[in-house]
Chain A
Amino acid sequence: MLGLGLCLSRASASVLNLNCSLILLPMCRTLLAYLRGSQKVPSRRTRRLLDKSRTFHITCGVTICIFSGVHVAAHLVNALNFSVNYSEDFVELNAARYRDESIFFPFSQDPRKLLFTTVPGLTGVCMVLVLFLMITASTYAIRVSNYDIFWYTHNLFFVFYMLLMLHVSGGLLKYQTNLDTHPPGCINLNGTHYQNIHLQDYLSEHFRESFPEGFEKPDELTQKRFVKICMEEPRFQANFPQTWLWISGPLCLYCAERLYRCIRSNKPVTIISVIRHPSDVMEIRMVKENFKARPGQYIILHCPSVSALENHPFTLTMCPTKTKATFGVHLKIVGDWTERFRDLLLPPSSQDSEILPFIQSRNYPKLYIDGPFGSPFEESLNYEVSLCVAGGIGVTPFASILNTLLDDWEPYKLRRLYFIWVCRDIQSFRWFADLLCVLHNKFWQENRPDYVNIQLYLSQTDGIQKIIGEKYQALNSRLFIGRPRWKLLFDEIAKCNRGKTVGVFCCGPSSISKTLHKLSNRNNSYGTRFEYNKESFS
């Protein structure tokens, strides 16, 4: 009745089933963070797969897009065929109510009636519109410029899934329940079509071609396998919607995770101090009960006094340790949310003092955090040698690593860290100049001067200020003017660490990231392997 259209639509529906179920899994971020940190995932290769979760999500999304197009086109053809090939023999199978329900009348409404009055048709149309809204808002240009549109439309996915559950419950596809009593190709002796035809004539007419050589007696055919007589009318029943099996698992998992995150982030944090840093950066230190985080992870801040709906991710620059429960983030003030947040925490009247007195902590707005979530930078402590490159405010994940090394470096596998920090403004280095100097001194005291190798680069200079500060002599002697020369750096690291595997981490502009990726994949003559760990932001 339907021909090729049915095959295409069923095939694309199967692909859609799989993708709709898989697409939710990379978004269960707490689960991924747990997998990353647990001992159950021992291999580094498996952990690196988790870095690609956003790319996987996008790939599934694009696949859903393409195959929805195929599915819709095939079903439009089916809608046509359902009425053109209306079958009087098997009335139950038809979706159209009578022959020629559809398009023989040019201006009739009937094709749309077929589409809109059946449950699968209506839900299908709504799903396509929801998908259209979600896809047009998810392009790279929109994500970069107006992240809000992307976020709010993407939350329509829940409507999409509800519609999907209804879509498959319409029962349009049917299978035959009594195959044993009415096998395909059997002859209906009592049917109106064959009433006046003698069986033998019928058999000889229709089955002449299938007679094997040397067969003469048509009577014997009635006992043979390939001709049967129907005992009863065929009965049809709708297929069980397979989609429910596919998507219920991941959907329940995702809902459980969101619920868990909601409950966990319900208690506000206590802000201990707010510190203003040069170049529009603000540091917030806070405490929260039962908050544990590994270095390199990030949290999502939510402040209802600033905006009821917006959440923003920030990397932790200081993680809670066994001895100290304080953790902190550094925020760069770009955009309206961070500006309003800064005005709430550091009122303009006291802008000349750097650290607010403790007495003002009563007036801090309520702040909720969600997380911590994993990132590829956690892996830098698990390599024997790591190269960490930071551009500007991208130094924040590495700051938490440095803080952890300051606390205790021995439990980790890391034995040598190359830390490259590129900034445009020399005042930016003051964000972590203290931390770097203290760390440097600690390793000199412990007689491991080559543990941390610091190189600071000032990419744009107006020539006026050439040192960071008088007390940061260790950093001043490691400050270079101009951009780093990556090839030379890689050669030097390869020569000093022959035969080892070096983990390369970059948090900065994509041009640096691309260069590092290319250099990491090149062979070098010292037998050193560079593994590039990529973080994907929006």
Chain B
Amino acid sequence: MGQIEWAMWANEQALASGLILVTGGIVATAGQFTSWWFGAYSIVAGVFICLLEYPRGKRRKGSTMERCGQKYLTKVVKVLGPLSRNYYIRAVLHLGLSVPAGFLLATILGTACLAIASSIYLLAAFHGEQWTPIEPKPKERPQVGGTIKQPPSNPPPRPPAEARKKSGEEEAAASAGVSGGPQENPVPVVDEVV
């Protein structure tokens, strides 16, 4: 139980409440209910909440599934800085946004759902969670030739690296076929001319 990340659930709830607010607001404004201006307010509030909550925050452990196309909104939300990082602020913000929509029957459901989301955010903030944006990983360009410091000095056939190192350490060239100079053969090479 101790490892649950509540913020992810609160995020889903807030996104769903935003959509419910928008729907209720459209019904109220289009039906021209009395005090339909609350409906107009709830459409605006709903859209704002959807945009704020769309980018999913990064999980503490493991990989996070991004929502489709969320990287553009991540940049915008990141700009807000501590306002978007801190979940206490988000909880208070959602609670505040939900109150005016409670006055109209069509949007009262959005109020209830957003209030629940706000309380889960409070729980998440209490557990010390924070919103961290999901950064795209910088593409590691494959380092071609990074381990090759110098081109090989001997033409093929070349013995493996260990044998080359060993022959470099020996000071005297023991084999008879060694001519000295750039090429040092560990094994005597005899030209067979027929």
Contacts and interface: CB of A to CB of B under 8 A. Distances in A.
Interface of A: 72-73, 76, 79-80, 103-104, 106-107, 111-112, 115, 125, 128-129, 132-133, 135-137, 139-142, 144-146, 148-149, 309, 336
Contacts of B59: 145
A104 B105 contact: no
A104 B34 CA distance: 7
A107 B116 CA distance: 24
Given A106-B35, A112-B108, A146 B113 contact: no
A136 B33 CA distance: 30
A187 B180 CA distance: 129
A103 B65 contact: no
Interface in B1-53: 1, 3-6, 8-9, 12-13, 16, 27, 33-35
A142 B106 CA distance: 29
Contacts, number: 65
Given A112-B108, A144-B65, 16 more contacts: A73-B27, A76-B105, A103-B34, A103-B105, A111-B105, A125-B112, A129-B112, A129-B116, A132-B113, A133-B116, A135-B16, A136-B9, A136-B13, A139-B12, A145-B8, A149-B6
A75 to B, nearest CB: 11
Interface of B: 1, 3-6, 8-9, 12-13, 16, 27, 33-35, 56, 59, 62, 64-65, 103, 105-106, 108-109, 112-113, 116
Contacts of B35: 106-107
A145 B113 CA distance: 22
Nearest to A147: B4
A111 B5 CA distance: 38
Given A142-B8, A142-B12, A132 B65 contact: no
B34 A141 contact: no
A79 B105 contact: yes
Nearest to B108: A112
B65 A141 contact: yes
B26 to A, nearest CB: 11
A341 to B, nearest CB: 15
Nearest to B117: A136
B16 A309 contact: no
Contacts of A72: 109
A135 B16 CA distance: 10
A137 B108 contact: no
Contacts of A73: 27
A77 to B, nearest CB: 9
Given A129-B112, A149-B4, A136 B34 contact: no
A107 B4 contact: no
A82 to B, nearest CB: 12
A135 B19 CA distance: 14
Q: 7 closest A-B pairs (Cβ-Cβ)?
A: A106-B35, A136-B12, A136-B13, A111-B105, A141-B65, A149-B9, A103-B34
Contact of A146 (B4, B27, B56): B4
Nearest to A140: B65
A213 to B, nearest CB: 45
B8 A136 contact: no
A136 B6 CA distance: 12
A139 B16 CA distance: 11
A106 B16 contact: no
A141 B56 contact: yes
A137 B9 contact: yes
A132 B116 contact: yes
A136 B56 CA distance: 14
A129 B27 CA distance: 20
B13 to A, nearest CB: 4
Contacts of A107: 35, 103
Contacts of B109: 72, 128
A133 B115 CA distance: 12
A426 B6 CA distance: 38
Contacts of B16: 132, 135-136
A397 B69 CA distance: 38
Given A135-B16, A136-B12, A136-B13, A145 B5 contact: yes
B8 A141 contact: yes
A148 B8 CA distance: 12
Given A112-B108, A336-B3, A103 B33 contact: yes
Nearest to A149: B9
Nearest to A114: B105
A240 B159 CA distance: 93
